[in-house]
Amino acid sequence: MSFRHGLRLLYSQLSLFSRELNRPGCRYVSSSLALSSEKRASDFSSFVARTNTCGELRSAHVGQEVTLCGWIQYQRQGLFLVLRDFQGLTQIIIPQDEAHSHVKKVLYDAPVESVVRVTGTVTSRPPGQKNPKSEALRMQYRYLDLRSFQMQHNLRLRSQMVMKMREYLCNLHGFVDVETPTLFKRTPGGAKEFVVPSREPGKFYCLPQSPQQFKQLLMIGGLDRYFQVARCYRDEGSKPDRQPEFTQIDIEMSFVDQAGIQRLIEGLLQYSWPNERGPITTPFPSMSYAEALAEYGTDKPDTRFGMKIIDISDVFRSVEIGFVQNAVNKPQGTVKAICIPQGARHLQNKDFESLKESAKSQFNQEVLHLILKPDESLKSPLSKFLSEEQQSKLIQALKVQADDMVLLAAGEHEKVCLVLGNMRLESANLLESRGLVLRDPTAFHFLWVVDFPLFLHKEENPAELESAHHPFTAPHPSDTSLLYSEPAKVRSQHYDLVLNGSEIGGGSIRIHNAEQQRFVLETVLKEDPKLLSHLLEALKCGAPPHGGIALGLDRLICLVAGAPSIRDVIAFPKSFKGRDLMSNAPDYITPEELEPYHIQVAWPAAEAEANKN
Amino acid sequence: MSFRHGLRLLYSQLSLFSRELNRPGCRYVSSSLALSSEKRASDFSSFVARTNTCGELRSAHVGQEVTLCGWIQYQRQGLFLVLRDFQGLTQIIIPQDEAHSHVKKVLYDAPVESVVRVTGTVTSRPPGQKNPKSEALRMQYRYLDLRSFQMQHNLRLRSQMVMKMREYLCNLHGFVDVETPTLFKRTPGGAKEFVVPSREPGKFYCLPQSPQQFKQLLMIGGLDRYFQVARCYRDEGSKPDRQPEFTQIDIEMSFVDQAGIQRLIEGLLQYSWPNERGPITTPFPSMSYAEALAEYGTDKPDTRFGMKIIDISDVFRSVEIGFVQNAVNKPQGTVKAICIPQGARHLQNKDFESLKESAKSQFNQEVLHLILKPDESLKSPLSKFLSEEQQSKLIQALKVQADDMVLLAAGEHEKVCLVLGNMRLESANLLESRGLVLRDPTAFHFLWVVDFPLFLHKEENPAELESAHHPFTAPHPSDTSLLYSEPAKVRSQHYDLVLNGSEIGGGSIRIHNAEQQRFVLETVLKEDPKLLSHLLEALKCGAPPHGGIALGLDRLICLVAGAPSIRDVIAFPKSFKGRDLMSNAPDYITPEELEPYHIQVAWPAAEAEANKN
C-alpha cells in the first residue's frame, strides 16, 4: 500500500461525493486487503473515474498525476487526510495557501467516511523526516494497519513459527517452559534497566534485560532443560529499530557443550522454518570471531555475497608511500582492500566520495580507490608509486577484473577491518540501489560466530577489562589457565548466530564453579559481588555444567517475513522514542498517584518554571 | 519433606562426622528426592544410627525425640542450620545459651556439606509467625526447593498443560498467539497499576493488569481469534496468595456469543487436562449469579458438597420472635438456614461459638443454631417459640435428620446469603479437620456463573454506579433498553468459570458500538472518556462483535496439582509482601540511577531523618 511506502499525494482537485455520519459496523473492506500485490493482475481502474487505487501506488508513481476515489479514513484540521479504498491507504496533503481555503473548509466539515475523489501528484515522503508522518499515522491507527495483508501475514507467521518452536522444544526434546519474574533486582551494570518503584520507600524493582540469572538458577534447581518465550526490557532511549520491550526465545540446558547447543538451535530452526521460505540446510557453517573480523570487518558477516577483505600488506611493504609505511611499520599495522566487481561501471564519482566521507566521519580513516581500466591499467593516485610488478601482484591478490573498483585502507588491523567491513556493506547498498542484486532476498545464510574474546579493554580506560558479553560466560577450555595470568587473552565459550548479516542470537556455556565466578567478578571485573551473592551462593550448592542461548524473536521473524522493520512483526510497537502513539503512553500522572510509591518528579528547571505558570 | 511442613528440630546433641570443602558438582542427591511419600514403604532407618530421615518428618512427629544424619545444607551464624539427606531438608534450631557455646563454635567453623548427626525434639513452626522462617527459607534458597519432587512435578505439569492449551487453540482452532505490550498507559481507575518512569520528565508507563484493551483492538484490527499466555501486573500491596505479577490465558474472538466462548473453554480444558487427574465431562453446568448467591451465598460456589442455603421465611412468617419479625418485614427480608449433616456429632460447642463469632465479626450478623436430637426433638433456644407444626415444617424444609445441626440467620437477602455461604465453608473446614471428607480431593467441579449485574452501587456512595467487572462488558441482550432507563437493573454478558469454589476465569461479550461505549463511560460511570479515546475511536472504525475470557493460570494449575498455594506452581514467586527473598528485590538504588528518569524518592519523615544521620 502506498501508505506503507511513505508515498503521499499533493492535492490539486477534490470532489466530495457524499457525506456520511459514522455508523459503527464493518465499513472497512478488510477482506479485499488480503490481496497481495503478487496476485494482482486485473486493471481495477478501467471504466471508472479514477486512474489508480490507493493500494496500487508505488515508488514508480512518484511525479505522476493520479486520481483516486475513496473514503476519508481520517483528516486533521485541513492539513492532510488519509484516503482509503479496498486496497489501501494514501495520505493526501492539502495546500495551505489562500486559493485553497474552500477545500480546507469542505474537509474540515466532512466527517470521516465521507466519499471523495482527489487528483494530485504522487510524492515520496520528504527525505530526512526522521519520524515520518505516515509512519506515525500507522502507529496511531494501528488497529487499521493490522488489517493489512502484510501485518496479518506477519503476525500469523510469527504465531505459527513460535508454535512450531514450542513443539520442537517441549514435545520432541523434553524442555520445560518456565515463566520467570520480570519484577526483579538491578543487575551489576544494569544502566539500561527500567526501574519500578515499590510501596517500600526508596526501594525499586527493575525490569530485567533477560532471564539470565533465573535460567541459571533453574539449572541449579535441577530443571535440566528450560525454555521460555521471554519478554525482556531495555531502556536505550531512542535507537532506531529497537524496542523498549522485546521478545527472546530463551533456552538453557544442563550437561551440554557448545556443539550441543548449536545442534539444538539448528534443529529448532529447521523444524520451525516456514515451508514457503524453502528448506534450510544444517549444520550451519562456523567462523571464529578473528576470521569474521579479518574477512568481513564485523562480528556478524553477511555471507550472501563476496567482496571479502583481503590483506595486501605484502604488496605494499616495499612501496615508498609515507602513510602506507607509517601504517605497516606500526604493531598490528596492515594494508587491506576490498574489490567491488564492476564498481567502475555502476558507481559514480559522487558514490566514491560519499563512501570516503563516511569512512572519514565514522572512523576517521582515509580510504583510497583504484579502478582497473578495460585496458588492464590501474587508474589511481596510487599507481605512480607502484612498480609494474607491484601492480600486477595487487591485481592478482585482489582478483581484480576490468571495470572493478578497489577500496584500500592502511592502518591498525582491527580498525582497517571495521572500516572496510563498513565500506563493503555501503557499496553493496549503492550497487543494489542501481538495480543490481548482490544479496538474494530469498536466500538465508546462517553462520555461527565463535571464539570471541572473554573480556574487552574498556574504551574509557583501556587498563580495565569488561565482559565482552556478560560475566557468567565460561572461558574457552583451552584458555582456562590464562584466566588467572593474562585474562585479556582468554577466548570465551560464547557463540553468536548470524542470519544474512544480522545477529539473531547469542549464548554461551556458563561458569558453573563458584570460585571461578567470584574470581571473574571480583578480580578481573572489579565488580561488587554482593549484587550477585544469591547466584554465587547457588553455584556452591551443586551446579551442573550448563549453557544456553537466546534468539531475538522480533529480528528473526522480521528476516523470515522479509519485513523492512521489526515494527512490522510486532502488533503494537513503540515509536523510535519509545512512545505508544495510539494510546499516547507514556503519559503524565498526578502526584497523588505517585504517593504510594514514595517518589516525586524531579522537573528539569525550564519545565518546573512552566509548570508553575 | 519436613522443611515444607514447617517442622523444625530443637537441637540437643550433635556429631560432626566430616568437614568438607565445597566442591562444585552434583553433591545434592536430587534424584532421590523424586521419591514421593505415597510410594515410600521401606524402613530407611533400620540398622543405622538415625531414627528417621529428614524427608520423613510429619506433623505426627511433633514432640518426639529423633536422630537425623545428613549434610549441612546451610547454616547461619550458629543460629540454625538446614540439614539435608536424600529425602529432604530439616531446619535445626541451635540453643543460644552458654552451655551450648561449643556447638555454636563447631558449627560456625564447619563449612556447608559437612556431615553431621543431630538429636533433638521435633517442633512445629511457632504459631502466629506471619512470615514463617521455613517458608522464607524456601524462598531464599528457591533453587534448592526447586529440586524437590513436588516443585519439579508442578512446574513440568504447568509446562505440559499450557503446551496442550496452545495446541488446542493454535493448531486445532486457528487462534493467533499475539504478544501485547506491557509498557502501557494508565487505565481509568487503574489504582493497582505499577508505574514505570520514562526518560521524558513527568511521564510514566504503567504495567497493565491485563491486555484487555489490546485484545479488543486486535479484534478491530481483524485478527479474528487471538490468544496469549499473558503476563499481568497488579500492585495490591500485601494480600495472601496473590502475586504482583501473574499469568493468564487470555483469549478473544470475533463474531462469537457467550455460548461460543463457553464451549471453547470446555474443549480447551478437556483437551489439556492431565490424564492422571481423570477425565472431565462437558458441558459444564451453569448457574445464574442470583441462584449462586441464593443457594451458596457466593459468586463462586463449591458444588462438591451440599449444605445449600434454604429459604425458610415461610415457616417463620408467623413466628412471634422479635428479631425474626423485624427481618421478615423489611424489603428483601428473609430467614434462611443451612443444615450440617451429623454436625451435632462432629462439632463441639466451641466450634459453634467460633462460627457465631466469625459471623458477628465479619458481617455483624447474628446466627442461631438448632440440633435435631436422636429422639427427633429440636434443641434450640428458638424451639419454645415454634409450634409443633412449625417445627415439623422446618425439619421438612431443611431435610434435617437426627444429629444434624442447623445454622439460621434472619435479615436482608444478600447479607444473609453471604453469611450463610461463609458459614457453609467454615463448617466444612471444621468437619474436615475432624477427619470427615466433604470435598473429594480427586473431584473437579466446574461451574459457569452467568447473568451478573452490569453495574454495582458504589460502596462509598450508593447513588453512583461502578462496573461490576469492567466498562467494556456488554449488557445482556434482553436488558439493552434498560441501560438507558434503569442501568442498575441491567444484567451483563459477563461469565465466570468456577472450579471447586475458586474463580479460575472470567470474561464477557464486549460492547462493540462506540456510542454505547461512550454512554456507559460518560453517562453511567461518569468517567473521563479521554483516557480511552483511542478505544472509542477504534470502535468507530468497523468493530466486529467480539468477546473473550481470561483464565488465571497460576490458580488453575494450583488446583490441578493439588498444591497448597500458588507459590508452589511458580518457579520464583514473591513473598506476601511482594519481595523476592532470594535476590532481595525490590532494593535501594542510588539517586544517580534515578536521574535519567527525572524522579526522586519522597522519603517519609522518619526515614528522611534517619538518612541524614
Last residue of a domain, one of A74, A101, A135: A135
Residue A214: its chain B contacts at CB < 8 A?
Answer: 571-572
Residue B176: its chain A contacts at CB < 8 A?
Answer: 155-156, 159
What mean pLDDT comes out for the span A586-602? 91
Residue B294 belongs to a domain:
no
List the CATH number of the domain containing B395.
3.30.1360.30
Which chain A residue lies closest to B141 (C-alpha atoms)? Answer: A538
Cβ distance B177 to A162 less than 8 Å, yes or no, reads: yes
List the CATH number of the domain containing A243.
3.30.930.10
Window 514-553 of A: residues touching B by CB (8 A cutoff) are 514-515, 534, 538-544
pLDDT confidence of A12, banded at 50, 70, 90? low
**pLDDT (tens digit, 9 = 90+) per residue, B531-571?**
889 999 999 887 888 999 999 999 999 999 999 899 999 99
Residue A583 belongs to a domain:
no
Residue A599: its chain B contacts at CB < 8 A?
Answer: 197, 599-602
Compute the count of residue pairs across chains A and B with CB atoms less than 8 Å apart: 312
Which chain B residue lies closest to A22 (C-alpha atoms)? Answer: B540
Cβ distance A200 to B144 less than 8 Å, yes or no, reads: no
Whether A488 and A465 have beta carbons less than 8 Å apart is answered as yes
Window 292-331 of A: residues touching B by CB (8 A cutoff) are none
The residue that leads in pLDDT, A609 or B27, is A609
CA distance B95 to chain A (A): 26
Contacts of B388 (CB under 8 A, 6+ apart): none
**pLDDT (tens digit, 9 = 90+) per residue, B338-374?**
999 999 999 988 999 999 999 999 999 999 999 999 9
Residue A180: its chain B contacts at CB < 8 A?
Answer: 571-572
Residue B141 belongs to a domain:
no
Q: What is the pLDDT of residue B15?
A: 57
Task: Tell me the ipTM for this assembly.
Answer: 0.81
A98: three-class secondary structure by DSSP: helix
- Nearest 5 degrees, angle CA A224-CA A216-CA A178? 60
Task: Supply the mean pLDDT for chain A.
Answer: 86
**pLDDT (tens digit, 9 = 90+) per residue, A275-291?**
999 999 999 999 999 99
Is the domain of B13 the same as that of B99? yes
pLDDT confidence of A28, banded at 50, 70, 90? very low
CA distance B464 to chain A (A): 22
C-alpha distance from residue B544 to each of A149, A498, B7, B223 (Å):
18, 42, 57, 11
CA distance B545 to chain A (A): 9
Task: For an interface test with B, give the residue of A161, A180, A583, A603 to mutate (most B CBs within 10 A).
Answer: A583
**pLDDT (tens digit, 9 = 90+) per residue, B9-47?**
555 555 554 443 332 222 222 222 222 333 333 566 666
Window 156-215 of A: residues touching B by CB (8 A cutoff) are 156, 158-160, 162-163, 166-167, 170-171, 175-186, 191, 194-207, 213-214
Is the domain of A251 the same as that of A284? yes
Is the domain of A281 the same as that of A156? yes
Longest dimension (CA), chain B: 83
**pLDDT (tens digit, 9 = 90+) per residue, A112-139?**
767 788 888 888 765 444 344 587 777 8
Window 11-50 of A: residues touching B by CB (8 A cutoff) are 22, 24-28, 30
Give the closest of A177, A512, A571 to B218, CB-based: A571
Task: For an interface test with B, give the residue of A153, A159, A166 to mutate (most B CBs within 10 A).
Answer: A159
Residue B80 belongs to a domain:
yes
Count of domains observed in chain A? 3
Which chain B residue lies closest to A157 (C-alpha atoms)? Answer: B176
Window 564-583 of A: residues touching B by CB (8 A cutoff) are 570-572, 574, 578, 580, 582-583
Q: What is the pLDDT of residue B118?
A: 85
CA distance A534 to chain B (A): 6
Cβ distance A171 to B182 less than 8 Å, yes or no, reads: no
CA B310/CA B10 separation, integer angstroms: 51
Whether B124 and B90 have beta carbons less than 8 Å apart is answered as no
Give the closest of A186, A191, A594 to B195, CB-based: A594
What mean pLDDT comes out for the span B82-96? 77
Is the domain of B458 the same as that of B354? no
Domain of B191 in residue numbering reads as: 152-287+445-569
Give the closest of A178, A200, A582 to B155, CB-based: A178
CA A16 to chain centre: 43
Residue B174 belongs to a domain:
yes
**pLDDT (tens digit, 9 = 90+) per residue, B150-179?**
999 999 999 999 999 999 999 999 999 999
Is the domain of B332 the same as that of B412? yes
Residue A264 belongs to a domain:
yes
Cβ distance A599 to B601 less than 8 Å, yes or no, reads: yes
CA B464/CA B458 separation, integer angstroms: 6
Q: Highest mean pLDDT range out of A115-124, A521-530, B1-10?
A: A521-530
Residue B522 belongs to a domain:
yes
Cβ distance A583 to B200 less than 8 Å, yes or no, reads: no
pLDDT confidence of A72, banded at 50, 70, 90? confident
Last residue of a domain, one of B380, B413, B433: B433
List the CATH number of the domain containing B127.
2.40.50.140
Is the domain of B275 the same as that of B228? yes
CA distance A456 to chain B (A): 24
Residue A595 belongs to a domain:
no
Residue A40 has pLDDT above 70, yes or no: no
Residue B390 has pLDDT above 60, yes or no: yes
Name the least confident of B9-13, B300-304, B308-312, B523-527: B9-13
Cβ distance A204 to B142 less than 8 Å, yes or no, reads: no
Contacts of B299 (CB under 8 A, 6+ apart): B289, B292, B293, B449, B452, B496, B498, B503
Whether B120 and B19 have beta carbons less than 8 Å apart is answered as no
Window 414-453 of B: residues touching A by CB (8 A cutoff) are none
Residue A239 has pLDDT above 60, yes or no: yes
Is the domain of A409 the same as that of A519? no
What mean pLDDT comes out for the span A330-337? 92
B592–A contact, CB cutoff 8 A: no
What mean pLDDT comes out for the span A31-36? 27
Whether A449 and A495 have beta carbons less than 8 Å apart is answered as yes
Q: What SS3 string covers A324-358?
A: HHHHHHCCCEEEEEEEECCHHHHCCHHHHHHHHHH
Is the domain of A514 the same as that of A562? yes
B46 phi, psi to nearest 5 deg:
-70, 145
Q: What is the pLDDT of residue A380?
A: 87
Last residue of a domain, one of B403, B433, B463: B433
**pLDDT (tens digit, 9 = 90+) per residue, B99-147?**
778 777 777 777 776 778 888 888 876 544 334 458 777 788 899 889 8
Give the closest of B156, B185, B594 to A176, CB-based: B156
CA distance A90 to chain B (A): 17
**pLDDT (tens digit, 9 = 90+) per residue, A372-403?**
999 888 888 888 888 889 999 999 999 999 99
Give the closest of B27, B185, B538 to A580, CB-based: B185
